[in-house]
A and B are shown apart, each in its own frame.
Chain A
Amino acid sequence: MSRQDTSDIVFRRILAVFPISILILVAGIFFQLVSSSQLSLHKFGIGFLFSRVWDPVAEQFGALPFIFGTCVTSLVALLLAVPIGVGAAIYLAEYAPPKVSKAISILVDLLAAIPSVIYGLWGIFVLVPCMRNNIQPFLGKYLGFLPFFQGPNYGVGFLAASIILAIIIVPFIISVSREVILAVPSVYKESAYALGTTRWEAIFDIVLSYGRVGILGAVILALGRAIGETMAVTMIIGNNVVISPSLFSPGYTLASVLANEFAEAATNMYLSALIEIGLVLFLVSIIVNILARVLIWSVTKGPGNVVK
């Protein structure tokens, strides 16, 4: 008996190393990012986040243009993706026949499985020419009085990157919102029907308002994806350090400056500034994800249900 007990205890101790190593790994990433960006942290301090100058030759570094680019592209992407994504999720959960719903869900998962470099490739050779020749001239002609749609038309830029981002995050919005909508107890909807509401009224006033916290979670989760998305954005945003109100303007994001410049960083200060950008990205994505998980868990009742 006692021999069995020791073997059990030993096994348990050994196995416990693995989950603990996950915790250590996350802490380790944070620690490594902080310690490797010491140079830049000390020299620029908090001003790093508010300076517009990015000059590797003079070793002056500020992340504001990249933070601006990341915010603009993510928010415009959400603006495009949320209505369509939530709409499609409602259709799949409430309207579509089960077989159609299943088939579309599989196709949406397929969309989510496409590597981002392929979205980028499609973006360069299909979306950008289309932006340059059709969409942007159209927007410039009819909405050109707004500052967002002015300036030279290159095709690449904030708008193109936002559209690609919207396509990339829409599958996440659909699958998580669908999960949330399905988790709403059907009793509520049935009570609404009994009061004489139409189908849409029951969905809009009852189901959506019951599930709004979870859908908000899905949106924030998608925001996290959009913030961290690297390859597709790098390939079509135009890589230009600028803060401009125009969505036609080529820009830069936190993730794409890392993708483009990290391997070429020649000096220690340059490298350290780039790692500090990585640190910003890490912290922002952690905060966004914690928020999203808490919101989604509060609706789907615990962490078991949504793995994505």
Chain B
Amino acid sequence: MKALIHTSFERTRLRRAIWDRAMVYILSLCALGILCILFLIIFHLFIKGVTSLNWDFFTHLPKPVGEKGGGMANAIAGTFTLLGLAVCVGVPIGLGAGVYLSEYADLKFAQTVRFIADVMNGIPSIVYGIFAYIVCVLPMKGFSALSGGFALGIMMIPMISRTSEQFVRMVPGQLREAALALGVPKWRVTVDIVVPAALAGITTGIMVALARVAGETAPLLFTAFGNHYWQHSLTQPIAALPLQVFSYAISPFDDWHRQAWAGAIVLILMVLLINGWAQFYVMSRGRWSAGK
């Protein structure tokens, strides 16, 4: 009887040990599988796009169907224009809200706004496109760069508000107290001491938000709309890199498909460069962001 118990215990133990060992492999396979997909995507991007990536791509307008060559110069410029407009909308409101929440708001209000901002982050980007269409495109009676920039800008607000609040909060209290003790009014302490001290983190947050909206296509579909030529006015439809990649990808022409892959490389490099720059910036300059 005792031997029986002993062997069945041994057997369970063995089974548990095998299961334990097997899970290590299963779990690491999960991680490996995801990395494989990432490498596959990057691999295809470079294989298919690099051949169409040349100087013309950055300096020329798109060619009509059937003509070889051409580039996306106007779309690249358009994306930068849209990002510039988005910054004008997103940064003042996001930063202002973040500073207020950190320095002035009472707990309840701060939590409410934080909650709303998080929820706002989860609203599908195409809904922002519809909103911009209703409040900008319809009254202005036409697609325009302004409405596209507005759509991207409001998407940036919750992200910037959350990150800048986080970084402003990290500035040590002694700094504020020292300035207040010298008789400086609180608003000057905020503007001259606290915000500059958190500037590296705030800038990082802004750049991360920029990188995220730079690749957005959905909110631009019926606001910026796209354009095959140079745009001369902010009230005209404007080209954007993600839009151009989209419309070329779903077109039936091989030439355009190649251009779409090249555009995708440029787009992803842009997103990664902005992101990487942001990380580097916070590492080299962020004094009170080390804890992040």
Contacts and interface: CB of A to CB of B under 8 A. Distances in A.
Interface of A: 4, 7-8, 11-12, 15-19, 21-23, 25-26, 28-29, 32-33, 36, 83-85, 87-88, 90-92, 95-96, 104, 107-108, 110-111, 113-122, 124-126, 167, 170-171, 174, 198-201, 221, 224-225, 227-231, 235, 255, 258-259, 262-263, 275, 278, 281-282, 285-286, 288-290, 292-293, 303-304, 307
A17 B105 CA distance: 12
B250 A235 contact: yes
B31 A91 contact: yes
A120 B246 contact: yes
A87 B31 CA distance: 7
Interface in B92-131: 92-97, 99-101, 104-105, 109, 111-131
B20 A200 contact: yes
A286 B119 contact: yes
A25 B45 CA distance: 38
Interface of B: 16-17, 19-20, 23-24, 26-31, 33-35, 37-38, 40-41, 44-45, 48, 92-97, 99-101, 104-105, 109, 111-131, 133-135, 154, 157-158, 161-163, 166, 185-187, 190, 211-212, 214-218, 221-222, 225, 242, 245-246, 249-250, 257, 260-261, 264, 267-268, 271-272, 275
A11 B113 contact: no
A293 B27 contact: no
A8 B128 CA distance: 35
A21 B17 CA distance: 58
Contact of B97 (A21, A29, A107, A290): A21
Contacts of B163: 307
A190 to B, nearest CB: 17
A285 B123 contact: yes
Given A8-B185, A21-B93, A26-B120, A117 B215 contact: yes
A8 B100 contact: no
B217 A231 contact: yes
Query: A-B pairs with the 3 shortest C-beta distances?
Result: A115-B215, A228-B124, A18-B96
B37 A167 contact: yes
Nearest to A27: B116
A36 to B, nearest CB: 5
B212 to A, nearest CB: 8
A32 B246 contact: no
B27 A88 contact: yes
B162 A307 contact: yes
